[in-house]
Amino acid sequence: MALIAADTCTDDSRVDIARTFTEKEKRLVHIRWTDIICHADWTEHGDVTCPEFLSIGWIVSEDAKEIKIGNTLNEEGIPYGITAFPRGCVLEVTDVI
């Protein structure tokens, strides 16, 4: 079971609250990933390295091709703000809780 902070109360007072998700709900994960980089100047190859990033979200779907996460949940718990990561760019997936 995970605790998730919400943006608003049911009375729309804009006060943060927490609610619990069951085990069947989406996993909250960190995804460590790398990206392509290009230098259009005179940078030598030894000085060019792919940057690494960390993204956080709820897993929406995953298959052999890609992993998709949502970074925002609406009032019904439906994920939005979807990011799709090609499997070849994903270095590590770690459960947050």
Domain-by-domain residue ranges, the chain?
24-95
Share of the chain above pLDDT 70, in %: 74
pTM of the model: 0.69
Q: Is the pLDDT of residue 59 over 90?
A: yes
Q: What pLDDT, on a 0 to 100 scale, did the predictor assign at position 74?
A: 93
| Confidence check: pLDDT of 76 > 50 | yes
Distance between CA 38 and CA 16 in Å, rounded? 41
Q: Which amino acid is at 30?
A: H
Fold of 24-95: SH3 type barrels. (2.30.30)
Q: Select from 90, 92, 75 the least CA-distant residue to 11.
A: 75
Tens digits of residue pLDDT in 10-48: 455 444 444 444 545 679 999 999 999 999 999 999 999
